[in-house]
Amino acid sequence: MREASTPYVGRFAPSPTGPLHFGSLVACLASYLDVRAAGGTWLLRMEDLDRPRCRPEFATQIPATLASLGFQWDGEILFQSRRDDRYAECLARLNSEGRVYACACSRREIADSAVTGIDGPVYPGTCRHLALGATGNAIRVRVPDGTTAFTDRVQGHQSQGLAHDIGDFVLRRRDGLFAYQLAVVVDDADQGVTDVVRGADLLDSTPRQLLLQQMLGFPQPRYLHIPVAVNAAGQKLSKQTLAPALDDAAGCSQLNQALQFLGQPTVPADLAQTPSDLLLQAVSTWQPGSIPRSRFCHIP
């Protein structure tokens, strides 16, 4: 956990699979305000691990949209797609300690032989003791028994029995791409991230990341999970649910809508003629305790 004397470092980490939408804006705004209110450093990271789904035009468009909305990040943008060597180094360390193993099971085989957990089928450990070769196979971490717990700044106490609820999870896919769970842990540690502010759709992933942090000897950030924005049908805003892209020309109105969603006071027009002005005002009134303690909220 971050000590009071440790400088605050936060980050916003979108995946460039499409343009930013209102749900993206809410997560970005919460992260930005929490950092700036603490006088900290705010980083921008492109989580472009999944090469088949990510597109270079969105990796260019996203920073441009953020800039049009008044957001200013510190330092250079980090791209996960350029960090395979670092992820491989950490995976090799886990392998040398006997913490991972190769798995040849397909998704269908797992679904046919597994019970359903909180995040889909729980891997039954079919390949755990087979000593398969790594080439062409997925690499899974050996999840120990026990409970992993943490206190979220909005959602409160959280606990999860990883072995029962998740099972041995993938760190490198069969196609050779590294999994989000490993990459995000390594990136947060390497960038010195002290506080993670993101959507509550990732709340159940946090215990997996805590386990990897412990295995790799990395510090544990604080976590704050905000409600996920859903449409009138109760669906998470996404490319798949046809969430409209943010309008660069409507920055102040969109930012105020996001503030309202987060339970924060909106900024009147006479105090904010530009998005940058609005963000300065919003930093001064930021109250994380006013964020709704819910996993999902409808757009106001």
Write down all domains in the chain, each with its CATH number in brackets.
9-84+192-206+221-298 (3.40.50.620), 87-172 (3.40.50.620)
What pLDDT is attached to residue 116? 84
Cβ atoms 122, 259 nearer than 8 A: no
What pLDDT is attached to residue 64? 96
Six token digits for residue 87? 């992820």
pLDDT in tens, the chain (300 residues): 555 567 999 999 999 999 999 999 999 999 999 999 999 999 999 999 988 898 999 999 999 999 999 999 999 999 999 999 999 999 999 999 999 999 999 888 887 776 888 888 899 999 999 999 999 999 999 999 999 999 999 999 999 999 999 999 999 999 999 999 999 999 999 999 999 999 999 999 999 999 999 999 999 999 999 999 998 888 888 877 778 899 888 899 999 999 999 999 999 988 888 999 999 999 999 999 999 999 998 887
* Largest pairwise CA distance in the chain: 68
Six token digits for residue 183? 């990459």
E strands within the chain? Answer: 9-12, 41-46, 78-79, 100-103, 116-117, 120-121, 138-141, 148-152, 156-160, 170-172, 195-199, 222-226, 228-230, 296-298
Task: State how far the alpha carbon of 251 is from the alpha carbons of 42, 246, 247, 286, 295, in Å.
Answer: 20, 8, 7, 18, 26
C-alpha span between 249 and 145 (Å, rounded)? 52
C-alpha span between 182 and 204 (Å, rounded)? 15
What pLDDT is attached to residue 1? 55
Cβ atoms 61, 83 nearer than 8 A: no
